Protein backbone atom coordinates (compact mmCIF):
# COMPACT_ATOMS: atom_id res chain seq x y z
CA UNK A 1 0.00 0.00 0.00
CA UNK A 2 1.21 3.53 -0.78
CA UNK A 3 2.32 5.34 2.35
CA UNK A 4 2.58 8.99 3.21
CA UNK A 5 -0.68 9.88 1.47
CA UNK A 6 -2.22 13.27 2.09
CA UNK A 7 -5.89 12.69 2.81
CA UNK A 8 -8.24 15.62 3.39
CA UNK A 9 -11.69 15.13 4.89
CA UNK A 10 -14.70 17.44 4.91
CA UNK A 11 -16.40 16.10 8.03
CA UNK A 12 -19.98 16.95 7.10
CA UNK A 13 -23.37 15.70 8.28
CA UNK A 14 -23.14 16.07 12.07
CA UNK A 15 -26.28 18.22 12.27
CA UNK A 16 -28.42 15.92 10.13
CA UNK A 17 -27.13 12.87 12.01
CA UNK A 18 -28.36 14.43 15.26
CA UNK A 19 -31.68 15.86 14.08
CA UNK A 20 -32.50 12.52 12.44
CA UNK A 21 -32.29 11.02 15.92
CA UNK A 22 -34.29 13.77 17.59
CA UNK A 23 -31.13 15.16 19.22
CA UNK A 24 -29.78 18.72 19.28
CA UNK A 25 -27.23 19.48 16.54
CA UNK A 26 -24.43 19.77 19.05
CA UNK A 27 -24.90 16.09 19.94
CA UNK A 28 -23.93 15.39 16.33
CA UNK A 29 -20.81 17.51 16.70
CA UNK A 30 -19.85 15.58 19.88
CA UNK A 31 -20.36 12.27 18.09
CA UNK A 32 -18.30 13.68 15.20
CA UNK A 33 -15.39 14.40 17.56
CA UNK A 34 -15.43 10.74 18.63
CA UNK A 35 -15.36 9.70 14.97
CA UNK A 36 -12.34 11.90 14.38
CA UNK A 37 -10.52 10.23 17.26
CA UNK A 38 -11.13 6.78 15.71
CA UNK A 39 -10.13 7.94 12.23
CA UNK A 40 -6.88 9.49 13.49
CA UNK A 41 -6.07 6.22 15.23
CA UNK A 42 -6.69 4.23 12.04
CA UNK A 43 -4.94 6.63 9.63
CA UNK A 44 -1.29 5.47 9.89
CA UNK A 45 -2.26 1.85 9.10
CA UNK A 46 -4.03 3.12 5.97
CA UNK A 47 -0.80 4.62 4.64
CA UNK A 48 -1.75 8.19 5.53
CA UNK A 49 1.10 10.55 6.39
CA UNK A 50 -0.88 13.78 6.49
CA UNK A 51 -4.54 14.06 7.46
CA UNK A 52 -6.18 17.47 7.05
CA UNK A 53 -9.71 17.72 8.41
CA UNK A 54 -12.22 20.54 8.00
CA UNK A 55 -13.51 21.30 11.48
CA UNK A 56 -14.86 24.86 11.14
CA UNK A 57 -15.00 26.99 8.02
CA UNK A 58 -14.74 30.77 7.97
CA UNK A 59 -18.31 30.73 6.68
CA UNK A 60 -19.48 28.71 9.69
CA UNK A 61 -19.42 31.94 11.77
CA UNK A 62 -22.79 32.57 10.10
CA UNK A 63 -24.37 29.84 12.23
CA UNK A 64 -26.45 30.60 15.34
CA UNK A 65 -24.31 31.96 18.19
CA UNK A 66 -25.09 29.04 20.49
CA UNK A 67 -23.96 26.48 17.92
CA UNK A 68 -20.75 28.43 17.23
CA UNK A 69 -19.98 28.71 20.95
CA UNK A 70 -20.64 25.01 21.46
CA UNK A 71 -18.35 24.18 18.52
CA UNK A 72 -15.55 26.35 19.90
CA UNK A 73 -15.87 24.67 23.30
CA UNK A 74 -15.91 21.24 21.69
CA UNK A 75 -12.78 21.98 19.66
CA UNK A 76 -11.03 23.09 22.86
CA UNK A 77 -12.09 19.86 24.62
CA UNK A 78 -10.95 17.79 21.66
CA UNK A 79 -7.49 19.36 21.76
CA UNK A 80 -7.23 19.08 25.53
CA UNK A 81 -8.33 15.43 25.55
CA UNK A 82 -6.35 14.30 22.53
CA UNK A 83 -3.00 16.02 23.01
CA UNK A 84 -1.70 13.36 25.42
CA UNK A 85 -2.97 10.51 23.25
CA UNK A 86 -1.47 12.05 20.10
CA UNK A 87 1.86 12.58 21.82
CA UNK A 88 1.90 8.94 22.94
CA UNK A 89 1.03 7.62 19.49
CA UNK A 90 3.32 9.90 17.46
CA UNK A 91 0.72 12.25 15.97
CA UNK A 92 1.80 15.82 15.33
CA UNK A 93 -1.13 18.23 15.66
CA UNK A 94 -1.35 21.57 13.95
CA UNK A 95 -4.00 24.05 12.98
CA UNK A 96 -4.54 25.77 9.64
CA UNK A 97 -6.76 28.84 9.34
CA UNK A 98 -7.12 32.18 11.09
CA UNK A 99 -6.46 32.28 14.82
CA UNK A 100 -7.20 35.88 15.63
CA UNK A 101 -10.99 35.40 15.80
CA UNK A 102 -10.87 32.29 18.01
CA UNK A 103 -11.62 32.45 21.74
CA UNK A 104 -8.52 32.98 23.89
CA UNK A 105 -8.98 29.61 25.66
CA UNK A 106 -9.07 27.75 22.32
CA UNK A 107 -5.91 29.56 21.19
CA UNK A 108 -4.20 28.41 24.40
CA UNK A 109 -5.26 24.78 23.76
CA UNK A 110 -3.94 25.05 20.19
CA UNK A 111 -0.58 26.39 21.38
CA UNK A 112 -0.31 23.59 23.89
CA UNK A 113 -1.26 20.84 21.41
CA UNK A 114 1.14 22.16 18.76
CA UNK A 115 3.93 22.67 21.26
CA UNK A 116 3.67 19.27 22.90
CA UNK A 117 3.28 17.20 19.74
CA UNK A 118 5.64 19.23 17.53
CA UNK A 119 8.31 16.51 17.40
CA UNK A 120 5.95 13.63 16.48
CA UNK A 121 6.44 12.02 13.07
CA UNK A 122 4.09 9.07 12.54
CA UNK A 123 1.18 11.17 11.30
CA UNK A 124 0.57 14.85 10.80
CA UNK A 125 -2.96 15.83 11.83
CA UNK A 126 -3.98 19.26 10.59
CA UNK A 127 -7.24 20.69 11.88
CA UNK A 128 -8.70 23.41 9.68
CA UNK A 129 -10.39 25.92 11.99
CA UNK A 130 -11.72 29.29 10.81
CA UNK A 131 -10.34 28.18 7.47
CA UNK A 132 -11.12 29.55 4.01
CA UNK A 133 -9.11 28.40 0.99
CA UNK A 134 -9.93 31.60 -0.86
CA UNK A 135 -8.64 33.70 2.04
CA UNK A 136 -5.49 31.56 2.21
CA UNK A 137 -4.86 32.25 -1.49
CA UNK A 138 -5.48 35.98 -0.98
CA UNK A 139 -3.01 36.09 1.95
CA UNK A 140 -0.37 34.23 -0.09
CA UNK A 141 -0.96 36.52 -3.09
CA UNK A 142 -0.48 39.64 -0.96
CA UNK A 143 2.74 38.21 0.46
CA UNK A 144 3.94 37.35 -3.04
CA UNK A 145 3.10 40.83 -4.28
CA UNK A 146 5.07 42.46 -1.48
CA UNK A 147 8.05 40.07 -1.81
CA UNK A 148 8.44 40.02 -5.57
CA UNK A 149 10.69 42.64 -7.08
CA UNK A 150 8.69 45.46 -8.64
CA UNK A 151 7.14 44.23 -11.87
CA UNK A 152 8.25 40.59 -11.39
CA UNK A 153 5.40 38.20 -12.06
CA UNK A 154 3.97 35.94 -9.36
CA UNK A 155 4.57 32.34 -10.42
CA UNK A 156 2.79 29.13 -9.52
CA UNK A 157 5.86 28.05 -7.56
CA UNK A 158 6.26 31.29 -5.64
CA UNK A 159 2.59 31.30 -4.66
CA UNK A 160 2.69 27.65 -3.63
CA UNK A 161 5.66 28.34 -1.38
CA UNK A 162 3.81 31.18 0.29
CA UNK A 163 0.61 29.22 0.85
CA UNK A 164 1.12 28.22 4.47
CA UNK A 165 2.01 24.53 4.70
CA UNK A 166 0.51 23.83 1.31
CA UNK A 167 0.89 20.25 0.18
CA UNK A 168 -0.99 18.57 -2.69
CA UNK A 169 -3.95 16.48 -1.55
CA UNK A 170 -4.10 12.90 -2.83
CA UNK A 171 -7.61 12.03 -1.68
CA UNK A 172 -10.41 14.37 -0.71
CA UNK A 173 -13.27 12.67 1.13
CA UNK A 174 -16.54 14.44 1.89
CA UNK A 175 -19.12 12.76 4.07
CA UNK A 176 -22.75 13.84 4.41
CA UNK A 177 -23.87 13.44 0.79
CA UNK A 178 -23.01 16.91 -0.57
CA UNK A 179 -20.70 17.06 -3.57
CA UNK A 180 -18.89 20.35 -3.20
CA UNK A 181 -15.66 21.72 -1.73
CA UNK A 182 -17.15 24.52 0.42
CA UNK A 183 -13.93 26.59 0.24
CA UNK A 184 -11.61 23.79 1.45
CA UNK A 185 -8.03 23.43 0.11
CA UNK A 186 -8.95 24.72 -3.35
CA UNK A 187 -5.34 25.07 -4.47
CA UNK A 188 -4.09 21.86 -2.87
CA UNK A 189 -6.94 19.80 -4.41
CA UNK A 190 -5.99 20.67 -8.00
CA UNK A 191 -5.41 16.96 -8.77
CA UNK A 192 -6.97 15.33 -5.72
CA UNK A 193 -9.11 12.24 -6.24
CA UNK A 194 -12.58 13.15 -4.97
CA UNK A 195 -14.61 10.66 -2.97
CA UNK A 196 -18.11 11.58 -1.84
CA UNK A 197 -20.09 9.40 0.51
CA UNK A 198 -23.65 9.63 1.82
CA UNK A 199 -22.46 8.43 5.21
CA UNK A 200 -22.94 11.14 7.86
CA UNK A 201 -19.64 11.97 9.58
CA UNK A 202 -20.54 10.47 13.01
CA UNK A 203 -21.19 7.14 11.22
CA UNK A 204 -17.98 7.20 9.17
CA UNK A 205 -15.78 4.31 10.32
CA UNK A 206 -12.17 3.20 9.90
CA UNK A 207 -13.58 0.59 7.50
CA UNK A 208 -15.07 3.40 5.36
CA UNK A 209 -11.66 5.05 5.36
CA UNK A 210 -10.00 1.84 4.20
CA UNK A 211 -12.64 1.52 1.47
CA UNK A 212 -11.90 5.05 0.27
CA UNK A 213 -8.17 4.31 0.12
CA UNK A 214 -8.96 1.13 -1.82
CA UNK A 215 -11.08 3.12 -4.31
CA UNK A 216 -8.21 5.58 -4.71
CA UNK A 217 -5.76 2.76 -5.38
CA UNK A 218 -7.89 1.73 -8.39
CA UNK A 219 -7.96 5.16 -9.93
CA UNK A 220 -5.45 6.31 -12.49
CA UNK A 221 -3.96 9.71 -11.82
CA UNK A 222 -2.78 11.26 -15.06
CA UNK A 223 -2.06 14.88 -14.07
CA UNK A 224 -2.89 15.91 -17.62
CA UNK A 225 -0.78 13.20 -19.23
CA UNK A 226 -1.94 10.05 -20.99
CA UNK A 227 -2.70 6.63 -19.53
CA UNK A 228 0.34 4.65 -18.41
CA UNK A 229 0.88 1.89 -20.95
CA UNK A 230 3.69 -0.52 -21.83
CA UNK A 231 6.35 1.16 -23.98
CA UNK A 232 5.50 -0.95 -27.10
CA UNK A 233 1.84 -0.03 -27.15
CA UNK A 234 2.72 3.65 -26.71
CA UNK A 235 4.96 3.43 -29.76
CA UNK A 236 2.05 1.93 -31.69
CA UNK A 237 -0.10 4.99 -30.94
CA UNK A 238 2.65 7.40 -31.79
CA UNK A 239 3.26 5.90 -35.24
C1 LIG B 1 -20.20 19.55 9.79
O2 LIG B 1 -21.49 19.16 10.06
C3 LIG B 1 -19.55 20.25 10.96
C4 LIG B 1 -19.40 21.69 10.80
C5 LIG B 1 -19.65 22.35 9.72
C6 LIG B 1 -18.90 22.43 11.94
P7 LIG B 1 -22.71 20.13 9.83
O8 LIG B 1 -22.98 20.89 11.10
O9 LIG B 1 -22.52 20.98 8.62
O10 LIG B 1 -23.86 19.09 9.60
P11 LIG B 1 -25.04 19.20 8.53
O12 LIG B 1 -24.43 19.37 7.19
O13 LIG B 1 -25.86 20.40 8.93
O14 LIG B 1 -25.78 17.91 8.69
C1 LIG C 1 -18.18 22.51 5.36
O2 LIG C 1 -19.44 22.07 5.72
C3 LIG C 1 -17.40 22.91 6.58
C4 LIG C 1 -17.07 21.84 7.51
C5 LIG C 1 -17.36 20.58 7.37
C6 LIG C 1 -16.34 22.26 8.67
P7 LIG C 1 -20.71 23.04 5.65
O8 LIG C 1 -21.86 22.25 6.12
O9 LIG C 1 -20.43 24.33 6.34
O10 LIG C 1 -20.80 23.34 4.09
P11 LIG C 1 -22.03 23.78 3.18
O12 LIG C 1 -22.63 25.00 3.81
O13 LIG C 1 -23.00 22.65 3.16
O14 LIG C 1 -21.44 24.02 1.83
MG1 LIG D 1 -22.96 20.72 6.67
Mean predicted lDDT score pLDDT of the chain: 94
Residues 207 and 41: their CA atoms lie apart, in Å, by 12
CATH number of 5-131+171-218: 3.40.1180.10
pLDDT of the residue at 233 = 59
Residues 12 and 9: their CA atoms lie apart, in Å, by 9
pLDDT digits (tens, 9 = 90+) for 25-40: 999 999 999 999 999 9
Once rounded to an integer, what is the mean pLDDT over residues 155-169? 86
Residue ranges per domain, the chain? 5-131+171-218
Residues 27 and 71: their CA atoms lie apart, in Å, by 11
CB 135 within 8 A of CB 159: no
pTM above 0.75? yes
Distance of CA 60 from the midpoint of ligand 1 (Å): 9
pLDDT digits (tens, 9 = 90+) for 93-147: 999 999 999 999 999 999 999 999 999 999 999 999 999 999 999 999 998 888 7
Q: Which of 9, 10, 12 to mutate to test the pocket of ligand 2 (most atoms within 8 A of CB)?
A: 12
Q: Ligand 2 pocket, 52 CB below 6 A? A: no
Orientation angle between helical segments 25-42 and 206-217, nearest 10 degrees: 60
Amino acid sequence: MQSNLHVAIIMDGNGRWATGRGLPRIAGHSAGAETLRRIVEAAPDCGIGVLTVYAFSSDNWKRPRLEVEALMALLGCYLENETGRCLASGVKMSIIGRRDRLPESLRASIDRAEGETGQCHLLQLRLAIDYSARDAIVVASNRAASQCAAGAPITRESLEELLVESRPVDILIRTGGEQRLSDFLLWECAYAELIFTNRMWPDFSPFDLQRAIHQYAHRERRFGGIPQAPAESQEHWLR
